Amino acid sequence: MKVVKENIIFLDPTLGSLVLLRSEIRKFVSELVSKQLQNRIIFSLDEIVTNVIEHGGILSLDQKIEIRILEYTDYLCFTVIDFGKPFDPTKYTGADSKQKLASGADGGFGLNAIKKVASLHYTRLVAENKNKLDLHFRKDNHG
């Protein structure tokens, strides 16, 4: 498959860097997909990166989160590579919402939403001690 365009972003593992993430994604995809898909992509990436920052247990600011954005003919691929603790979102089955409502525990709904609009592929890079998550969005995804 031919790569049409690509970009790589390195983010600090802080919530403040989400602003940069959103603007970079918007810049990359604005001419390529519908406004709705743009919002979904931003929402998805926002969720994933927020999860990494809030629950990944990254200890150092030097452990940047790498986002690779690749445009193929029919779809867009977003790869998130992080130093967080191992977590495979594709195996996350979804929490019992009732249970969660009662306990007030956090998380889960974002991932479910992402799975609805994108296909996810997880790899643990053992040698480098990193997580690698690919998100594929079809360009004609209008819901």
Partner 1 sequence: MDKKQILRIITPGLRTKLSFITILLVSVILVVTSVVTYRQQKNALQEKLELEIKNPLVYLNGIVLELENINRSLVLIEEFKIRVEEKKSELKKFKRTVVSKEVGFLGTLKDLGQSIGLAVKRGNVYTSVDTYYSRYLSDKEISIFESKIKNELQGEAGKPIDDINYQRIQKIAKAAALEKIKSEKYKFRVREISDLKESINAYISDTSIDEISKSKLNLERDQLNKEFIQISKNIITSDAKALNFESNLNKALLNIFKGNYKEKIDSIGLLPDKIRIFVYDKHGKESLDTASLFPLAPETSKKLLLREEYKQILTDLFSKKQIETQFNSNSKSIDVVGRQFEVLTKPVFKNPDSAERAITLLGFLQKEKDFYNQYFIEDTKIAKEIKTLSTEIRIRLRELRKTGKTKPGSDKVFRELTEKYRSLISKREAKFKELLPNQNVIAENKIKWKEQGLQFKKNFDDLNAKLSEWKLKAKSNQKENEKIYSIEEIDYKIQTLESQLEEMRDNIALHESSKDDWTKFIHEMSNDSVLYLRDASLHDFSFIPYKTGNSNINKYYKSGDERKRIQTKYTHFRNWVLSANSETELPKLRGTEIYNDSGILVHSRSEVEEAMWELDGKPLLESIEGKRGLIFEILEKDIIGFNIVILDRTDGIRQIKKNREETMRYVAIIGLFAILLSFIFSHLFVRRIKVISKNAEQIEKGNLNVTFPKAGYDEIGILTDSLNDMVSGLKERDEMRGELIAAEEIQKRLLPEKLPTSLSDKIEIAAFYKAMTGVGGDYYDFIELNDGKLVFCIGDVSNHGVGPAIVMALFRSQIRSIFRRGERNLKKVLLEANASLYEETPDHIFITFFLALFDPVNSQVEYVSAGHIKPLYFDASKNKIHELPAGGLPLGMDENSFFETTIERRAIIMDSSDVFFQYTDGLDEARSPSGDFFTREQVSKILLDNSQTSVNEIVNSFVKDLEKHTTFNLSQSGMSALSDDIAMIAIKKL
Q: With beta carbons less than 8 A apart as the criterion, state whether 76 and 68 touch.
A: no
Q: With beta carbons less than 8 A apart as the criterion, state whether 62 and 11 touch.
A: no
Q: How many residues bind partner 1 (CB under 8 A)?
A: 22
| Least distance (Å) between residue 21 CB and partner 1 | 15
Q: With beta carbons less than 8 A apart as the criterion, state whether 46 and 67 touch.
A: no
| Least distance (Å) between residue 8 CB and partner 1 | 27
Exactly one of 116, 121, 123, 125 binds partner 1 (CB under 8 A); which one?
A: 116
Please state, in angstroms and as integers, the Cα–Cα distance from residue 30 to each residue in 38, 52, 132, following that order. 7, 25, 25
Beta strands in 50-143 (DSSP E): 65-72, 75-82, 119-125, 130-138
Exactly one of 41, 69, 117, 135 binds partner 1 (CB under 8 A); which one?
A: 117
Binding mask 38-57 for partner 1 (x = CB under 8 A): -xx--x---x----------
Of 87 and 108, CB closest to partner 1: 108
Edge-to-edge strand order for the sheet containing 75-82? 3-11, 65-72, 75-82, 130-138, 119-125
When asked if residue 112 is in the footprint of partner 1 (CB under 8 A), the reply is yes
| Least distance (Å) between residue 109 CB and partner 1 | 4
| Residue numbers at the binding site for partner 1 (CB under 8 A) | 35-36, 39-40, 43, 47, 97, 100-102, 104-110, 112-113, 116-117, 143
